[in-house]
């Protein structure tokens, strides 16, 4: 392990919910829950105000509504979250070439590889500067952990939440870990935790005291060795800049169980097409097609078929998924369907079966485009959907967001990230003056940066920070500060 805390772990605080609060002045300081709002939806993120009521990520939305009935429940806006994530990741890449994203809101950074830090003092300064830059650039907060290894850096960022920074000094790791519960260690989930508890092991110190042989006996060779090493604060995993995708998949959960076999087949075909679009967008192909079916009783079945070579042909993937579906009994109803492709490659193998499938599809008149609606359905325009929390614009009242909709009405609150809490108005769902809109920036662009963007440069491409901590003076910045070794 390293002798300095130069591995940084950043975790944005309640990311989706915080972004929604920043975008909507009327929700700041209030309980906000983001996730699927259907009967089987789950919580993606809850604000800290909602967590005070016991709402947690991955909780069924129905349970969250019982715990916090007065919270604001919003549908995710992934386009907004991705744009913010790109800005934050840009700041991280300015620190080091070794950035390992774990999700939109979480990443490891090897500060030593970028010569950004080499000891505790320089690492702490970089962490504080990063937090200030994130706030200045996005208006959001992130928690930073610094340690000599990835495991401890992640533990440190958890201890720093919300909106803090924790540095674990080398040599203090064992004393810090010993009283912590075993669930703090990576790879210890509810099942492993219960298994250890039944053996009288409840803390990390208990793991170290039990010894490696006992851990191997309880958990098996691989898991036992790994867990014992982590209990002794040993973690030599490097920060990996590129994480190779192992599979591409899509799935849908249905509010009402699907019983009609024809409808199930149609949904599988639609999911196969979505999966292929993701494959092609990533420039990949795959040779193993996987079908996932979760039935009415929560039993989950997976079936797979491996082709002779990798493909990104939608007809081939659809036909393979349909063949896999034939072996699954869906009589009692289906609550979830998924289609995936693994065995990925960056090329496509021309295959006679693929060509034949494509010819059959062309002969039958099928294409990748959606089927035309029957004439009687074309004459009746579909009711416009207004997801809660999404942006809209009204010809008279300007920019706002949807508070809710139903019974032919949609309620909109008119406000922007930089305004005061706005007024609420109600319209017909088919009001011609109301239309969906793109999200507004959470933080207005600085004029100088706006000019750069107009000249073809990213508004956030500069490695200069959006703001500096008070502990940084102009002279220290001119001398390089914590961005280079003196």
Taking the CB of residue 205, how many other CB atoms lie within 10 A of it? 17
Cα 84 to chain centroid distance, Å, stands at 12
Residue 84 near residue 130, CB atoms below 8 Å: no
Q: Which residues neighbour 412 within 8 Å (Cβ) at sequence distance 6 or greater?
A: 392, 394, 397, 400, 401, 402, 403, 424, 425, 426, 427, 434
How buried is 104 (Cβ within 10 angstroms: 0-12 exposed, 13-18 middle, 19+ buried)? middle
Residue 214 annotated to the active site: no
What letters, b where the CB count within 10 A reaches 16 and e where it falls short, cover 136-175? ebbbbbbbbbbbbbbbbbbbbbebbbeebbbbbebeebee
Measure the CA–CA gap between 335 and 84, rounded to whole angstroms.
33
Nearest residue to 203 via CA among 227, 183, 223, 221: 183
Distance CA 90, CA 86 (A): 6
Active-site residue (options: 49, 100, 106, 128) = 106
Q: What are phi and psi of 224, to 5 degrees?
A: -65, -45
Query: From start to end of 152-233, where are the E strands?
Result: 165-167
Helix residue ranges per DSSP H, 382-479: 447-454, 474-478
**Token pair listed for 401:** 């967001």
Q: Which residues are catalytic?
A: 106
């Amino acid at each position: 392990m390293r002798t300095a805390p130069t591995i940084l772990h950043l975790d944005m605080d309640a990311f989706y919910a915080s972004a929604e609060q920043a975008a909507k002045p009327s929700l700041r300081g209030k309980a906000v829950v983001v996730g699927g709002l259907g009967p089987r939806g789950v919580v993606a993120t809850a604000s800290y105000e909602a967590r005070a009521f016991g709402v947690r990520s991955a909780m069924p939305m129905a349970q969250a509504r019982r715990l916090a009935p007065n919270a604001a429940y919003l549908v995710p806006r992934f386009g907004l979250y991705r744009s913010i994530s790109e800005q934050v990741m840009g700041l991280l890449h300015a620190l080091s070439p070794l950035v390992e994203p774990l999700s939109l809101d979480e990443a490891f950074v090897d500060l030593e590889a970028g010569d950004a830090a080499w000891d505790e003092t320089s690492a702490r300064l970089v962490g504080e500067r990063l937090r200030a830059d994130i706030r200045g650039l996005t208006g959001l907060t992130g928690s930073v952990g610094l340690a000599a290894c990835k495991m401890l850096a992640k533990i440190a960022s958890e201890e720093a939440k919300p909106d803090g920074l924790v540095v674990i000094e080398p040599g203090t790791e064992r004393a810090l870990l010993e009283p912590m519960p075993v669930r703090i260690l990576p790879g210890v989930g509810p099942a492993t935790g219960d298994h250890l508890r039944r053996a009288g092991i409840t803390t990390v110190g208990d793991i170290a005291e039990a010894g490696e042989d006992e851990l191997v006996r309880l958990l098996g060779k691989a898991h036992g060795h790994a867990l014992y090493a982590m209990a002794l604060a040993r973690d030599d995993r490097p920060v990996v800049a590129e994480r190779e995708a192992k599979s591409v998949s899509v799935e849908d959960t249905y509010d009402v169980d699907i019983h009609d076999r024809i409808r199930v087949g149609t949904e599988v075909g639609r999911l196969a097409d979505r999966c292929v679009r993701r494959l092609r967008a990533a420039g990949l192909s795959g040779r193993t097609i996987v079908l996932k079916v979760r039935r009415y009783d929560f039993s989950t079945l997976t079936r797979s078929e491996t082709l002779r070579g990798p493909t990104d042909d939608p007809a081939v993937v659809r036909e393979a998924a349909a063949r896999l579906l034939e072996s699954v009994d869906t009589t009692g109803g289906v609550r979830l369907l998924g289609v995936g492709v693994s065995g990925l490659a960056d090329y496509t193998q021309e295959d006679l079966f693929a060509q034949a499938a494509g010819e059959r599809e062309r002969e039958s008149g099928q294409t990748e485009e959606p089927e035309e609606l029957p004439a009687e359905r074309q004459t009746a325009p579909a009711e416009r959907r207004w997801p809660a929390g999404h942006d809209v614009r009204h010809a008279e009242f300007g920019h706002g967001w949807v508070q809710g909709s139903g019974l032919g009405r949609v309620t909109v609150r008119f406000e922007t990230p930089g305004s005061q809490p706005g007024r609420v108005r109600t319209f017909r769902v088919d009001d011609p003056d109301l239309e969906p809109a793109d999200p507004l920036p959470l933080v207005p662009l600085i004029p100088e940066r706006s000019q750069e963007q107009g000249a073809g440069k990213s508004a956030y491409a500069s490695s200069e920070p959006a703001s500096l901590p008070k502990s940084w003076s102009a002279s220290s910045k001119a001398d390089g500060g914590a961005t280079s070794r003196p």
